[in-house]
Structure 1
Amino acid sequence: MSAFPFITPRLDDPRLLQERRYGMVIDGKSVPALSGETIARESPAHPGHIVSIIPKGSRDDAEAAIAAARLAFDNGPWPRMTGGERARIMNRVADLIEANIEELAIIEALEVGKAISQARGEMGFSVSLWRYAAGHVQGLEGEAHNDLGPNTIGLILREPAGVVGLITPWNFPLLIGSERIPWAIGAGCTVVIKPSEFTSGSTIRMAELALQAGLPEGVLNVITGYGADVGQILAEHPDVDVVNFTGSQRVGRLIGAIAGQNIKKVGLELGGKGPQVVFADADLDAAAAKISGGVFHCSGQVCISGSRLIVHESVADALLEKVQAVAAQIVTGDPLDDRVHVGALIHQGHLDKVAGYVEQGKADGAQLLVGGNTLGKAGAFYAPTIFTDVTRQMTIAQDEIFGPVLTTFRFKTAEEAIRMANDTPYGLSACVWSRNISTAFQAIRRIKAGRTWINGMGDGAPQLAIGGYKQSGVGRELGKHGFDEYSELKSVHVSLSAFPG
């Protein structure tokens, strides 16, 4: 067991003590659940402190939101606006998110348990997502084909797909919402979004800011509650044309199966077990910093976390020493303290699950190099943890732990490294480290993952599409390809009369 810097959460911070009550956003109005029931969210970093109260929605509430989105799509102005008109409103949404970064960051620091400095960065990136999508809206295009014969023209029209149901997870609520909502509404769709019952506050506030920016009523609706009550209906309901889910593989299979019964478009971003392949010629200092940052960021609760370190045997010991040194500087604790790098896990139950994986790893014969223990006297805090001598058969080698746990493997040849990198059902993300750009590119081309880095980890840009291979999901978000998820393409065959000669 190793000691890590830890800052005990303050229980008298006024940001913690402020009561936050939210309504669902349906048809442009803030409304309670029809039942009047609510869900109280306790801070994972401050046990016993309620930081938000949200409506406990039911199927009736979800149906009301779907009806509002359907009406707004079928009869409202949004799908019929010009791209320029939509872009102006979307840019105002970006401006308002930017003006309220601190409020939104506090909400997520308290509900998610993440460090507020990290939350501020995510809010800032969300602004750039909205602005990129707004800038692209006026450039959405179809096709024209003028080579079908002297009396024929062919067109392909891009049209909005309809009502979109979004189900988002608890780890990055506003950011993941911002990776999807601007593309959906930018394409001309209307949206019903169901955030996690643990972390609904920032999504609700984003929808309220969108209304303030001039988004028409019914275009963006937020329903809150449990998945079985208000989430599953988005896959079932015939008035929802597209359903997009981000979360666990188990629930993703369920959503995909239900959506398939209704023959509707579906997008899934599911789990990951990202490899970080380090060749012998890599810059070990740079790699150590990014490897540590990648796997321990947000307490490891990141789908693209590089949780499998695959390193050439000749540099493995040197690299692990450097990774340990970086990890030893990570400050865990009070998410509202600007000195903190990593906050709490999402709740005590998840901490117990992570701890269970660590115990399983030790029982299976993996060597615990550092960590493997809780931090602090209260709250869901877990130390950065590194395993060596891991084999592919071990549970910690295959399962997505979703905690601050790094598993380490060693390789002799490049072929072995690629085989190990692809040796899971997942294919969401991957990193390759080498000073030889040919080696790096050849490796990236052979690793089956949708989001990859060379000599880096975790960086992103609105222009670059994201999504998974294999069992990490289907579909792509962001970039110009992100609009395709929320569009239908219609071919138009135009027959012309003969040109008068």
Structure 2
Amino acid sequence: MTLHIDPASLAEAKGGPKRWQMLIDGKWTDGAVGLEGERVSPGHGVLVSRYAFGSQADVERAVTAARRAFHRGPWPKMKASERAAVLLKTADLIDARREEIARLDAIESGKPIRQARGEIEGAADIWRYAASLARTLHGESYANLGESMLGVVLREPIGVVSIITPWNFPFLIVAQKLPFALAAGCTAVVKPSELTSASTVLLGELLMEAGLPEGVCNIVLGTGPEVGAHMVSHPSVDMVSFTGSTRVGKATVAAAAATLKKVSMELGGKNAQVVFPDADIPAAVDAAVFGAFFNGGECCNAGSRLIVHKDIAADFLAAFAERAKRVRVGDPLDERTDVGAIITAAHLQKIENFVGDASADGAHVLMGGSGIESGAGQYMAPTVVAGVKPEMTIAREEVFGPVLSVLEFSRTEEAIRLVEETDYGLSAGVWSRDIDTAVGVARSVRTGTVWVNTFMDGYPELPFGGMKQSGLGRELGKNAVEDYSEVKTIQFHRGPRTAWWVGN
């Protein structure tokens, strides 16, 4: 298979890349030591962005600004309705510039433009949901402690939050964190991936236009070692919210432990779709194709394992292969594209190595298995690997590419065991018309989300996060704002104190 990608189709090929600065204390700024970064579009091989990269000195400036805005600024003291108004205005501005934001994510991450538009629409919806939670965050009162005592439990913003986001959903994932922190009254320092920073910087513009006070949200660009590590370990940061690999997540938790910061971790996944013989097979086939190849498989929720009953495995895979042939790999800016480019050449090589190792271990590559010649950028053919055994690396580790591993089972207990035979516990899917089967599997597997007769749906109202090595804590849902708060107890005594410890 060969693609024909035209690098000249990008405006940046003629006009040159746009340069993006950092946002610190309400001002656009370059880094203190003059570091620079560049991003070459993974779908076209054209330089599309230049960034002013930061260093530890810029993290210091950003954290200082966020701390000052928290203690001296109006944001934490504002009425919830006033904070909500800023979040709602931000959502409106996101909608108004949806096409621009989607294009930035498409050219920097390689995702299809149609998909990117949907993500930006979903992000605006999350900002609106966070605004509603700003007005419902509340504490408790206890008038049952006796007539002389009243207990009040307050929820107060936790303080300064470091938010670190990945490259695979640049705008959507920051929307799963930042608006909830702001709704609670926190201030923030945000570091997007150095590969896909532009849309987050644009978000900074929208926040300022929406009326967010200076210093409340600071955006520092750069690499993990130069910027992220200092954001995690900084003693004036009260909480870290991180999305990325489990390996980096473990290092982040360890660094945050030095100052006992609160941490929220959304990490890797090796998610399975379990298909029983009584399932709606056409629907399950479509969901399996979607789960495996959506976002090029560069998704923590990807359905990268198909666990299918032996009685239907051959027919299911034949139907899967027929449907997968209709998946269009191509230019991220082409409206017809279903699967775009792979984020970097090094990551493409890593995906190919997973497939090669599985083949050497005795698995069978039924379709795809390698990169696609394109003339520009890097692309991977949708791949299916069958005959996978639970002990194989490809069955246990996150590939993060358009690769489906197929395992078979005979009994329900065996299917549950196969789901559980990884270190991850982010999500799973189960396909069966039998309610006992569906509920039994859903309640038995240790994953943060289980989809029944569907896959990878998402709503702001529903919590998202993982068990085991897939993370700590939850994002979204009605408790999302509470995650960015601390509880304070105040006890009021009325009347004379009679319970003297030392007698008068």
TM (norm. structure 2) is 0.96
Which residue of 402, 405, 426 maps to 1:404?
402
Are residues 1:117 and 2:114 paired?
yes
Give a deviation string over 1:399-450, Cα, whole Å, max 9, x none: 1000000001111111111111111000011111111122111211111111
Distance 2:13 2:99 in 1: 14
Partner of 2:334: 337
Alignment of 1:64-103 (within 5 A): 64-103=61-100
Alignment of 1:23-422 (within 5 A): 23-47=21-45, 49-378=46-375, 379-422=377-420
Q: Which moved more, 1:173-182 or 1:149-158?
A: 149-158
Give a deviation string over 1:13-55, Cα, whole Å, max 9, x none: 33664521100011111111112221111011112x1100011
CA RMSD of aligned residues (A): 1.4
Which SS does the other structure have where 1:459 is aligned?
coil
Distance 2:13 2:96 in 1: 21
CA contact (8 A) 2:191 2:220 kept: yes
CA contact (8 A) 1:272 1:426 kept: yes
Alignment of 1:14-29 (within 5 A): 14=11, 17-18=14-15, 19-29=17-27
Letter in 2 for 1:172: F
CA contact (8 A) 1:9 1:333 kept: no
Distance 1:82 1:267 in 2: 26
Give a deviation string over 1:69-124, Cα, whole Å, max 9, x none: 01000100000001100000110000000000000011011100110011000000
Distance 1:17 1:107 in 2: 17
CA contact (8 A) 2:154 2:488 kept: yes
Partner of 1:470: 468
Distance 2:432 2:459 in 1: 22
Which SS does the other structure have where 1:256 is aligned?
helix
Which SS does the other structure have where 1:488 is aligned?
strand
CA contact (8 A) 1:7 1:332 kept: no
Give a deviation string over 1:278-305, Cα, whole Å, max 9, x none: 1111111101111111110111000010
Partner of 1:461: 459
Letter in 1 for 2:95: E
Q: Which moved more, 1:63-72 or 1:487-496?
A: 487-496
Partner of 1:447: 445
Which SS does the other structure have where 2:457 is aligned?
coil
Letter in 2 for 1:304: N
CA contact (8 A) 2:12 2:47 kept: no
Give a deviation string over 1:329-384, Cα, whole Å, max 9, x none: 11111111111111101010000000111100100100111111212333210000
Partner of 2:502: none
Which SS does the other structure have where 1:311 is aligned?
strand
Letter in 1 for 2:380: Y
Which SS does the other structure have where 1:332 is aligned?
coil
Task: Give the CA deviation at 1:10.
Answer: 4.7
Task: Give the CA deviation at 1:203.
Answer: 0.4
Same amino acid, percent of matched pairs: 46
TM (norm. structure 1) is 0.97
Letter in 1 for 2:304: S
Task: Give the CA deviation at 1:9.
Answer: 4.0
Distance 1:147 1:315 in 2: 61
CA contact (8 A) 1:8 1:376 kept: no
Which SS does the other structure have where 2:365 is aligned?
strand
Task: Give the CA deviation at 1:173.
Answer: 1.0
Which SS does the other structure have where 2:288 is aligned?
helix
Give a deviation string over 1:190-215, Cα, whole Å, max 9, x none: 01010110000000100111100101
Which SS does the other structure have where 2:380 is aligned?
coil
CA contact (8 A) 2:429 2:453 kept: yes
Task: Give the CA deviation at 1:7.
Answer: 5.5
Distance 1:478 1:106 in 2: 25
Give a deviation string over 1:250-295, Cα, whole Å, max 9, x none: 1111110011111110111111000111111111110111111111
Which SS does the other structure have where 1:165 is aligned?
strand
Letter in 2 for 1:309: L
Give a deviation string over 1:127-159, Cα, whole Å, max 9, x none: 000000101211111111221122222221100
Please, which runs of 5 or more residues in structure 1 have no aligned partner?
A: none
Q: Which moved more, 1:15-24 or 1:176-185?
A: 15-24
Partner of 2:500: none
Which residue of 430, 433, 436 maps to 1:432?
430
Distance 1:434 1:17 in 2: 53
Letter in 2 for 1:440: A
Distance 1:135 1:451 in 2: 24
Please, which runs of 5 or more residues in structure 2 have no aligned partner?
A: 498-504
